[in-house]
Amino acid sequence: MLSFTKYHALGNDMLVIDPARFKRPLTPTTIQLLCHRHFGLGSDGICYGPLPAPDGAWGLRFFNPDGTEAEKSGNGLRIFARYLWDAEYVNGRFFTLHINNEPIPVEILDDGARQMRLALGRASFSSTALPMVGPTREVVGEK
């Protein structure tokens, strides 16, 4: 049986799959089937966690509907932070998520965890940080 939770955030819907409740491998084919809008549960992606992480943080992985792993998702991070609160993994105002070797500090701003602040870091528009070819440059404003 599949145990999952589905959340919505600013137009994105994501499945949260907790490895403690889902004992099968999460393969690209499984992800594609789960995320399929007509033949699966329908989702913009999957938050997979909590996973072991350094310094008491809560680790996670994100998967796109095509089964590939995503680097980061702002809405996905907020969804996963809320899941940790709802599932009573966390109960304090401050905690840290950890994805792709990057700590993401979280602050809960109200009693029901309806509002939170996450430090997502700075976006990079360097051609070396993006899946593209050509000379090294900032790619903002190109035509």
Walk me through the domains of the chain, giving residue ranges and CATH numbers: 5-115 (3.10.310.10)
3-state helix, strand, coil in the chain (%, to 5): 20, 30, 50
Give, for all 143 residues of the chain, the pLDDT tens digit.
678 899 999 889 999 999 998 888 899 999 999 999 999 999 999 999 999 999 889 999 999 999 999 988 999 999 999 999 999 999 899 999 999 889 999 999 998 888 999 988 777 777 777 777 888 888 777 77
* Cα dist from 5 to 1, 92, 119, 124, 138, whole Å: 13, 21, 24, 31, 38
Contact yes or no for 72/79 (Cβ under 8 A) = no
| pLDDT confidence of residue 104 | 95
> Which residue pairs, CB below 8 angstroms and at least 24 apart, start in 28-34?
28/66, 28/67, 28/68, 29/67, 31/63, 31/64, 31/65, 31/66, 31/67, 32/65, 32/66, 32/67, 34/2, 34/4
Structure tokens at 76: 């996905």
The Cα–Cα gap between 11 and 31 comes to: 20
Structure tokens at 106: 């979280």
In single-letter form, the type of residue at position 3 comes to: S
| pLDDT confidence of residue 131 | 73
| pLDDT confidence of residue 143 | 72
Nearest to 118 by CA among 109, 106, 132, 108: 106
